[in-house]
Homo-oligomer: A and B are copies of this chain.
Amino acid sequence: MAASAPSSSSGGDPDPNSTNLRPPSSNYDWSGVAHGCTRKLGMKICGFLQKNNNVDDKSGIVGFFNDQQPSKSIFTQDNERESRLRRTETDFSNLYARDLLPAKNGEECTIQFLLEVVDILTNYVRKTFDRSTKVLDFHHPHQLLEGIEGFNLELCDQPESLEQILVDCRDTLKYGVRTGHPRFFNQLSSGLDIMGLAGEWLTSTANTNMFTYEIAPVFVLMEQLTLKKMREIIGWPNGEGDGIFSPGGAVSNMYSVMVARYKHYPEVKIKGMAAVPRLVLFTSEHSHYSIKKASAALGFGTENLILLSTDERGRVIPADLEAKVIDAKQKGFVPMFVNATGGSTVYGAFDPINEIADICEKYNLWLHVDGAWGGGLLMSRKHRHKLNGIERANSVTWNPHKMMGVPLQCSAILVREKGLLQGCNSMCAGYLFQQDKQYDVTYDTGDKAIQCGRHVDIFKFWLMWKSKGTIGFEKHIDRCLELSEYLYHKIKNREGYEIVFKGEPQHTNVCFWYIPPSLRGLPDGPERRERLHKVAPKIKAMMMECGTTMVGYQPQGDKVNFFRMVVSNPAATRSDIDFLIDEIERLGQDL
């Protein structure tokens, strides 16, 4: 088994196990010292906390600090301490998961192991924000599968030592992608929020489940209060209504279609889709593909999802909606549901909600706003007007894990009418949702979900909100929008660039072609289009192989591949935008 020999380590830290003497030379690697410090902390905490420790026997502990002369330098002292530490280090190679808690006397080992892991993680955090590090160290699947420098992904019958496990952790991070790096612009979710990270660490440690108040009292209440706050911000009177956190925007959007169907045809729950007329749904041709996934999964069929035309900037044309509603009715279909997108995936377009809401009211259609990407703008007094009319929606998807920088996963489905989620999904399982508990069981909200067990997604978000305040989110959003304005103005008239749609973007999405010098003289036509289509993928591939930055690209309709730049990363600055443009030009100039 190649991996049993500890080998590479993330980012070039010296292997602490091989460092015995640490001369105070100016070339000394300080991160190694810090590494040693964490180990020492492990020793200290473990020593102090060890349950059966004889508290009166202070000699050992005193010695821990006292075995040094004032004349000695820190390094000598360090070496003296190392004699304790070395024992511990040796231990990791002879220690296994079975030696951790709940093993007898496993506390010391457990705390030390966790602190070692934290040391790896805090190193990773530091590097994530350090612009001199790469965004990624790209390897092809077959390379990783073959095992690079002993990093063996295969699972075995026999256990690995804790030492090897720590190496595996370093390698996992080493060959991954730093999505929090200031120059990672590849997805709508980017950045590494420290408070969110702390929240996730706590959530994992609490390791509970959202289905009942009984086993998640604090988290269940946090979810309720946060959802109420979100509904207030949407503008529903007194924040009334309902909602739940779901495993992502696609599932939130699926909820919206389910709830709409339940509202209009509650009999579907029992009798199925056979019991209702042919229902049709409407969404923009620029909307997220999850609406299509939902119509396939829930039994509507994708051909009963009618795509709406958009203007040049990707916004639904309300007149087209009305025409298609009338047309569907004339064909004998029953229009039921309209999705308006609040921040489309590629263009960042906001559909005109008020005008769509007028049509929905006129024809008695459920109005859902997919604000997975754009919902965050509700937190900004400057930008929330882009979602004007959202208070008229029957349901809203809003992913704090996108524009608000909350770690994945964190997505909410919010519903204006209370009781629908419960009515639609509840099955009243007796073993979980007993009605004869000693507390108010209306707080057992699990039966509203299509899930049974449900991960705690709320705490990191709640903690971020507490720590930043509403105004903190607002600042973050305003800043991201400013950065994309900066980018837009920078490339608008720059040689070698073409903007995909005219005018300032509504969201942080800036869509553009980079035209290499060799294509600049070519007239528009099939040859130019064909060659231009290949430019973005080539530049992107080189970016990834260099590891310098990452940005998305795609075709859209009849438009060939273009870059879609988005900013949601709080670490990004103008210099990173400049870097991206320089990098595109550096890599693309000879194409």
Contact = CB atoms under 8 A, between A and B. Distances in A.
Given A124-B205, A194-B110, A467-B160, A229 B407 contact: no
Given A24-B58, A97-B464, A168-B466, A70 B74 contact: no
B207 A408 contact: yes
A304 B271 CA distance: 7
Interface string A156-167: 111110101100
A409 to B, nearest CB: 5
Given A117-B198, A153-B218, 8 more contacts: A34-B45, A113-B194, A125-B205, A144-B221, A168-B466, A207-B407, A275-B301, A293-B427
Given A118-B118, A165-B463, A472 B207 contact: no
A5 interface: no
Contacts of A194: 97, 100-101, 110, 113-114
B250 A450 contact: yes
Interface in A77-130: 77, 96-98, 100-102, 107, 110-111, 113-115, 117-118, 120-122, 124-126, 129-130
29 contacts: A30-B55, A38-B45, A65-B68, A65-B77, A69-B70, A97-B468, A110-B125, A110-B194, A113-B194, A115-B118, A118-B118, A118-B201, A121-B202, A138-B217, A155-B466, A169-B202, A175-B217, A175-B218, A180-B207, A197-B204, A197-B207, A208-B408, A247-B251, A248-B452, A250-B449, A289-B429, A431-B556, A432-B554, A455-B455
Interface centre among A176, A254, A439, A552 (most CB of B within 10 A): A176
Contact of A187 (B138, B156, B215, B226): B215
B452 A288 contact: yes
A97 B195 contact: yes
A17 interface: no
Classify chain A: how many residues form its interface, as a range.
35 or more
A134 to B, nearest CB: 14
Interface string A196-221: 01101110111111000111111101
Contacts of A107: 126, 129
Interface centre among A28, A110, A215 (most CB of B within 10 A): A215
A436 B561 contact: yes
Given A41-B38, A179-B215, A254-B450, A298 B299 contact: yes
B299 A268 contact: yes
A278 B288 contact: no
A589 interface: no
A121 B278 CA distance: 54
Contact of A114 (B28, B118, B465): B118
Contacts of A129: 101-102, 107
A355 interface: no
Q: Which 10 residue pairs spanning A and B have beta carbons closest together?
A: A299-B299, A272-B301, A200-B204, A438-B541, A273-B299, A102-B571, A273-B273, A247-B247, A41-B41, A431-B554
B45 A217 contact: no
Q: How many copies does the complex hold?
A: 2
A282 to B, nearest CB: 15
Contacts of A69: 70
A155 B44 contact: no
B561 A247 contact: no
B202 A197 contact: no
A481 interface: no
Nearest to A101: B129
Interface string A3-31: 00000000000000000000010101011
A62 interface: yes
Contact of A304 (B110, B250, B272): B272
A456 B37 CA distance: 31
Interface string A40-72: 110011001101010110100110111011101
Interface string A446-487: 000111111110010011111111111000000000000000
Interface string A528-564: 0000001001001100110000101111100001001
Contacts of A111: 122, 125-126
Contact of A221 (B113, B121, B153, B459): B153
B297 A450 contact: yes
A522 interface: no
